[in-house]
Amino acid sequence: MVTVYKKTEQVTEQVTEQVTEQVERLLSSLQGETLSGSELMRKLGLSHRPTFLYSYIRPAIHYRLIEMTIPEKPRSGLQRYRLTDKGKKHIRKLPEK
């Protein structure tokens, strides 16, 4: 038996609620900018690249909140990251700090 799931606003809201504080910090750092990984790490005050990749970049890409500027070459030295439309919407929902 095959189960088919339909995308609903409720499912989208549940996924949005699962976004971690780290990903929200990343999104806030990207507002209106396209930045490299090292630029983002500097803005976030991070120095450990594996933590940055596993706790910030990968989850944000997984939830389609950010995207790579060169997706066909994820390891490129010219790689940059930017907010997707979904990421911009998520940012607008965050409380002001």
Question: What is the per-residue pLDDT across 29-42, written as a single tens digit (0 to 9) for each?
Answer: 999 899 999 999 99
Counted domains in the chain? 1
Cα–Cα distance measured from residue 41 to residue 90, given in angstroms and rounded to the nearest whole number: 21
Could you tell me which of 18, 20, 22, 24 has the C-alpha nearest to residue 90?
Answer: 24
Q: Assign 49 a pLDDT band (cuts: 50, 70, 90).
A: very high
Q: What domain range is 63 assigned to?
A: 9-93
pLDDT at 3: 52
User: Is residue 25 included in any domain, yes or no?
Assistant: yes
pLDDT at 11: 44
Cα separations in angstroms, 60 against 12, 48, 95: 14, 17, 19
What average pLDDT is seen over the chain?
Answer: 86
Question: Is the pTM here over 0.75, yes or no?
Answer: yes
User: Is residue 49 included in any domain, yes or no?
Assistant: yes
DSSP state of 57: I
Interval 48-75 mean pLDDT: 96
Q: Are 27 and 91 in contact (CB under 8 A)?
A: yes
User: Is residue 3 included in any domain, yes or no?
Assistant: no
Amino acid in the structure at residue 67: E
Question: Domain of 29: which CATH number?
Answer: 1.10.10.10
Angle of helix 21-30 relative to helix 85-93, nearest 10 degrees?
Answer: 110
